Amino acid sequence: MADCTIRIKKNGSAMVSGSFVVEDVDGNPYTIEGEAFLCRCGASQTKPFCDGSHKAAGFESAPHVGDTA
């Protein structure tokens, strides 16, 4: 059984739920128990986490596996 689930949100973040660690580019860990929303649009001021900026940025995504945006 997986320790976490990643759900791609339509035109938004990737919601990760479970028990996991996010490491930044320097390897600094963020231990998460519960949910985290990771930015996919590149506009967040709190990367790697989503801050809702994707709405103002007009981000459009491919929400299904195999879709191309």
- Residue 27: burial class (beta carbons within 10 Å; 0-12, 13-18, 19+): exposed
Is 36 among the residues that bind ligand FES (CB under 6 A)? no
In this chain, which of 4, 51, 60, 63 binds ligand FES, going by CB under 6 A? 51
Interacting residue with ligand FES among 16, 22, 32, 53 (CB under 6 A): 53
User: Nearest 5°: CA angle at 55, between 50 and 56?
Assistant: 110
Chain positions 8 to 27 lying near ligand FES, rule: CB under 6 A, are 12-13
Positions in the binding site for ligand FES (CB under 6 A): 12-13, 39-41, 43-44, 50-54
